[in-house]
């Protein structure tokens, strides 16, 4: 099949490359001429493990193309995906659908013959109806169907998620469009990936509901972690104890500094706004978003407390800047709020991240970026572990202690066993594991 992907960002590029890997002919379109030129040269605009190889292989096989010329790419396509950004709208928190609406107008001008138009972007309930109305008003004679096909890609594991999905959600009542979508995803039948076929509005809500539920699990275990610190319990053991219950499950029960990234913060907020507009408020999700916002900065205060209540004039080493490992994404990363809280308290910051430094430079000021972990640690008064990159899981603790001015480690991801750090002579502070237990 001939597939056109409008938008060559994270979702569009990963999805387009994987569809090409399945054998479809895919054209990725983007208005950013610089991005397209870089992609044509094999330079990825994002860091995603394995993506550069898949792109190179399919470009070489002439199954994957990149262009700024939308009309030509859409005219020849059987399926056109809208995979543009839907950031939070400044001022009110609603999803900004201006890019989606513009894509719909561009598609309306270009489609010829029956075309399935698929919304891959994360959008509020009813957006598919709006896209259909835009195109119908511009091209009343056009033959097309609008489908909702939300993505469930985890940054850092997106290729595996696309090729081995937990489910594929297809939202449309159009039987012809359903068959086109089944054929598009037919290569996944061998993996027996469940196909959920429903109406468009339900599919749109599935995406928001999934992200809100996962954000709720994260926030729940973070609040339990705070309670554990007060009553002398261990949050990791609590998480294991409840996670073994099949009704709960063990995933997303890792206590930390709060969730970030491109999805959870904006999607929870957009769901809250959608629910308010429908006069059906989602109070739990409202609370989740509020608690998560407060938590990030509270982690800065946790670091200050570990440094005997003051970081004024001190140097703090921060390892990990991106919101999670295996990505260069800094959007809503907890490190931003933590570093800003420390800077507000008078600290100097030395930081290192394996992939996120260039992105971090655009959102963090007055930070010294080191060439590696040990350079960041050198001369610091305390070490803070913010993102659980594999590179930070087996640091040479003897070397770390020698490089630090004070043997203080604040582990916001619970990477290390407390006894190991105590044995090496560190003051070790983690999340949901009270410090006094380690000295007992």
C-alpha 99/C-alpha 87 separation (Å) is: 10
C-alpha 139/C-alpha 329 separation (Å) is: 38
Longest dimension (CA), the chain: 77
Q: Which of 28, 228, 263, 307 is catalytic?
A: 263
User: 407: Cβ–Cβ under 8 A, 6 or more apart, which residues?
Assistant: 401, 424, 425, 426, 427
Both ends of the chain: CA-CA distance in Å?
A: 65
Q: Is 263 part of the annotated catalytic residue set?
A: yes
HSE-up (13 A, CA, CB side) for residue 263: 20
User: 317: Cβ–Cβ under 8 A, 6 or more apart, which residues?
Assistant: 350, 351, 352, 376, 377, 380, 382, 383, 384, 404
In this structure, what token pair is assigned to residue 57? 């292989």
Q: What is the DSSP letter of 428?
A: E
Q: What is the DSSP letter of 88?
A: B
Residue positions annotated with a catalytic role? 263
């Amino acid at each position: 099949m001939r597939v056109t992907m409008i938008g060559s960002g994270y979702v569009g590029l990963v999805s387009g490359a994987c569809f090409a890997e399945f054998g479809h002919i895919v054209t990725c379109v983007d208005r950013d001429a610089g991005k397209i030129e870089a992609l044509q040269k094999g330079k990825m605009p994002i860091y995603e493990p394995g993506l550069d190889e898949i792109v190179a292989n399919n470009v070489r096989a002439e199954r994957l193309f990149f262009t700024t010329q939308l009309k030509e790419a859409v005219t020849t396509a059987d399926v056109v995906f809208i995979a543009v950004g839907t950031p939070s709208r400044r001022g009110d928190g609603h999803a900004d659908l201006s890019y989606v609406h513009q894509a719909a107008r561009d598609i309306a001008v270009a489609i010829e013959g029956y075309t399935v138009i698929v919304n891959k972007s994360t959008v509020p309930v009813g957006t598919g109806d709006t896209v259909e109305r835009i195109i119908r008003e511009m091209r009343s004679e056009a033959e097309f169907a609008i489908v909702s096909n939300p993505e469930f890609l985890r940054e850092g594991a997106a290729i595996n998620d696309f090729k081995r999905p937990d489910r594929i959600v297809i939202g449309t009542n159009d039987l012809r469009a359903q068959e086109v979508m089944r054929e598009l995803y037919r290569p996944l039948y061998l993996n027996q990936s469940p196909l959920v076929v429903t109406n468009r509005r339900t599919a749109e809500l599935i995406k928001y509901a999934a992200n809100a539920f996962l954000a709720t699990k994260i926030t729940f275990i973070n609040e339990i972690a705070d309670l554990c610190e007060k009553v002398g319990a261990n949050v990791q053991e609590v998480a294991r104890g409840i996670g073994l219950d099949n009704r709960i499950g063990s995933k997303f029960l890792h206590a930390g500094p709060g969730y970030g990234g491109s999805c959870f913060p904006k999607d929870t907020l957009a769901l809250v706004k959608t629910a308010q507009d429908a006069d059906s408020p989602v109070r739990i999700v409202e609370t989740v978003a509020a608690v998560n916002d407060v938590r990030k900065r509270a982690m800065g205060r946790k670091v200050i407390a570990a440094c005997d209540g003051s970081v004024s004039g001190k140097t703090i080493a921060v390892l990990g800047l991106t919101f999670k490992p295996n990505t260069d994404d800094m959007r809503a990363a907890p490190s931003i709020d933590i570093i800003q809280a420390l800077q507000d308290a008078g600290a100097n910051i030395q930081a290192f991240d394996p992939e996120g430094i260039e992105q971090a430079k655009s959102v963090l000021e007055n930070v010294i970026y080191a060439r590696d972990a040990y350079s960041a640690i050198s001369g610091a008064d305390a070490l803070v572990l913010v993102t659980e990159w594999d590179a930070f899981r087996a640091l040479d603790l003897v070397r770390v202690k020698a490089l630090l001015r004070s043997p203080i480690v604040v582990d916001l991801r619970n990477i290390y066993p407390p006894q190991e750090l105590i044995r090496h002579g560190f003051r070790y502070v983690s999340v949901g594991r009270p410090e006094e237990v380690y000295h007992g």
